[in-house]
Amino acid sequence: MPRRERLSKTSAYHYVKLAVRSLMLIAATVFYILGHVRGVEQPLSFLTRLPWLLLGIFLAFAIEIFLRFFPSSIESMGCQKQFRRNYVPTEEMREMGGRVRLGTWRSTLAVAGAWVALNGIIAALYYTGVLDAGILVLIALFYSVADMICILFFCPFQTWFMRNKCCGSCRIYNWDYVMMFTPLVLIPNLFTIGLFALALVLVIVWEILVLRHPERFSEATNATLRCAHCKEKLCHHKRQLRAFLKKNAEKIRLRENLELAKERARRLLRREKTASPPQDDRPPSNGAD
């Protein structure tokens, strides 16, 4: 198992965001369930009755998105590599002497297609009355928690689609907020559309920079993205989780093998008892009747 690494500022920042977002999701879920128990038609309607609370939630996410437009020392390099100050040309880039192309469009489109399909199903369920507006809010909050889980522990987009080594080299890092707030488009108001619009602008700026400066987005051409220059160490959490799961999977496998061996021994013992001839416990006869 890999040795423990000291928690970096970036890791600590993401753990705080995970805790805050998890509390928001738990609180909203509790209010939603209580609303249903009390027979409230819109279980999360308290958000509209408490504009200060809705404003607080809006500002919390809006500030996060707004800060992404500027260089930061606490954010992951995954969403910071587009800035010129974080670009350090590699020897390979100098040898090429020109612009490069990122060969990840197919996987990028696959992610976009999968996300549209998933949220298309959610939209269909909403418009057919299976889901209500409260559930859409809970889904958006769940996405926000899942975003942190992807960064810290396991990312299906990284593993199944993008195949990138870590968040630092992720091609779609700044898609996170627009993906997070996709369900809110179905319940338009000033706050939901405002969040989605701000997140969409972030993605547009990101994609423009990908087209104009692809060399900043690959470790082959940007030395900042290489492991030797990494200071955030976010990948260690995923490695530790994989090592933990592997170790426990081996323990479970050994336990299962031991149980199978015991069961085979019990069956063999029963078979031997069944096959052996019955023993006559009567005393030997002396020939006299």
199-222 pLDDT, tens digit per residue, is: 999 999 999 999 999 999 988 899
Please give the single-letter amino acid code of residue 77: M
Task: Please report, in tens digits, the pLDDT of each residue of the chain (289 residues total).
Answer: 445 557 788 999 999 999 999 999 998 888 888 887 887 766 566 566 666 667 788 888 999 999 999 999 899 999 999 999 999 998 877 666 656 766 668 889 999 999 999 999 999 999 999 998 889 989 999 999 999 999 999 889 988 888 888 888 899 999 999 999 999 999 888 888 999 999 999 999 999 999 999 999 988 899 999 988 888 878 776 766 666 666 676 667 767 777 777 777 777 777 777 766 555 555 555 555 4
45 is written with which tokens?
């309607």
pLDDT digits (tens, 9 = 90+) for 114-161: 999 999 999 999 999 999 888 998 999 999 999 999 999 988 998 888
Residue 222 phi/psi, 5-degree rounding, is: -125, 105
Burial of residue 166, with CB atoms counted within 10 A of its CB: 0-12 exposed, 13-18 middle, 19 or more buried = buried
The answer to whether 151 touches 180, Cβ cutoff 8 Å, is: no
Q: Using CA atoms, how far apart are residues 92 and 277, in angstroms rounded to an integer?
A: 81
Angle between helices 51-67 and 9-37 (to 10 degrees): 150
Please give the single-letter amino acid code of residue 282: R
